[in-house]
Structure 1
Amino acid sequence: MSADPPAESLRDLAQQEAVLKLLAERVAAAQKDVKARTQRALDAAEKRDGTERVGASLPGGEQVATISLRKGETGPVVTDEEALARWVRQQWPDEEWTETRIVRTVKPWKLAELLGEMEAAGAAKLVDRVTGEVLDAPGVVIKPTRARTHAITWRKGGREAVAEAWRTGALSGQLAAITAGGEAA
């Protein structure tokens, strides 16, 4: 005859869930804040002296991770599809690169091709392959398409070392700020 494991207390489970929810909210807010401050500091360090990465170490000096800058990307972005489609139709009237619905649009495969050419050129311009004329593409601008950010790369054993430092209280100063304070939104 096997004994059933003791039933968990509903009150204990409710308490655990409430505590973890508050902790998760506070951790998420703290992470968002520190990520923004880290990004500003990395951007400033790169501008100042070319620094693109920094080590993350525990209070005892053990490096557990590396924070690395990821550069953003810039490329062509369609801001007025209708204007671009009219222009493509005007420039290449014999080609079936556009289709008429309620408004004229550029077929997705051709739009991808045209935007790829503009991205390669770094400008909202195309070269007419027949005449060689450089054409400005209306309804397209070159602007950031992905923001600069940064990433964490853990060293082997880094996660475990952080967990152990947390468990033993070595990170109590860093963690106290997360649990201190007023109501989380």
Structure 2
Amino acid sequence: MSAEQPVESLRDLALEEAALDLLAARIAAAKKDVRARTQRALDAAAQRDGVERIAAVLPNGAQVATISLRRGETGPVVVDEEALARWVRRTWPDEEWTETRIVRTVKPWKLAELVAEMMAAGAPKIADKATGEVHDVPGVLIRPTRARTHALTWRKTGKAAVAAAWREGQLTAQLAALTAPADTDAA
């Protein structure tokens, strides 16, 4: 026979859920803010000194993680589908790569092929395979397609070390925003 477990108080559960909800919202806001500040600092350090990674180190000197810069990507982005569709139709009038609706559009499979060719060329240009003529493609620009960002990589015992440091009060300054009064608390 097993010993009877005490029944949890519904009031205690309600309070725990409310407290965790508030904490989760504050953590999400604090994480978004620190990621933006870290990205700006990494971008500045990379431009100034060539720094692309930084260690996350506890006050006791233990390294718990590494934050590494990830480069953004650029590539062709269709900014005017109608202009692109008109150009595809004029350039290859015998092909059925476009379809007419209210406006002319390029069929998705062909658009994917054209974008891949422009990505390989690094410019909004397409070489006609039949004639060899190189066309400037209207309605397409080379733009950032993925923002420059950063990644956090934990060391094997990093999470446990951070949890211990938190319990021991070593991260008070870094986590002050989680318990500070906020205007949104009144809502």
State the TM-score, normalized to the length of structure 1: 0.93
| Counterpart contact for 1:85–1:104, Cα < 8 Å | yes
Q: Give the superposition deviation at 1:124.
A: 1.0
RMSD between aligned alpha carbons?
Answer: 1.6
| 2:43 counterpart of 1:51 | no
Residue identity in the other structure for 1:49 = D
Q: Give the superposition deviation at 1:130.
A: 2.8
Instruction: State the match for 1:76 in structure 2.
Output: 76
Q: Gaps (5+ residues) in structure 2?
A: none
Instruction: State the match for 1:171 in structure 2.
Output: 171
Q: Gaps (5+ residues) in structure 1?
A: none
Note the 1:108-147 alignment, pairs <5 A.
108-147=108-147
Once the two structures are aligned, what percentage of the paired residues are identical? 73
Distance 1:172 1:93 in 2: 68
Q: Deviations over 1:79-128 (max 9, x none)?
A: 12122111101101111212223322212111111001111111111122
Q: Give the superposition deviation at 1:4.
A: 4.3
Distance 2:134 2:113 in 1: 16
Instruction: State the match for 2:93 in structure 1.
Output: 93
Distance 2:97 2:5 in 1: 68
Q: How many residues align?
A: 185
Distance 1:164 1:54 in 2: 22
Identify if the C-alpha distance between structure 1 residues 178 and 84 changes in structure 2 by more than 3 Å, giving closer, same or farther. same
Distance 2:38 2:182 in 1: 24
State the TM-score, normalized to the length of structure 2: 0.92
Q: Deviations over 1:38-72 (max 9, x none)?
A: 00010011111111000001110100000000111
Distance 2:56 2:50 in 1: 18
Q: Deviations over 1:21-48 (max 9, x none)?
A: 1111111111111111100010011111
Residue identity in the other structure for 1:134 = V
| Counterpart contact for 1:76–1:124, Cα < 8 Å | yes
Q: Secondary structure at the match of 2:182?
A: coil
Question: Where does structure 1 differ by over 6 angstroms across 4 or more consecutive aligned residues?
Answer: none
| Counterpart contact for 1:56–1:66, Cα < 8 Å | yes
| Counterpart contact for 1:25–1:184, Cα < 8 Å | no
Distance 2:39 2:135 in 1: 38
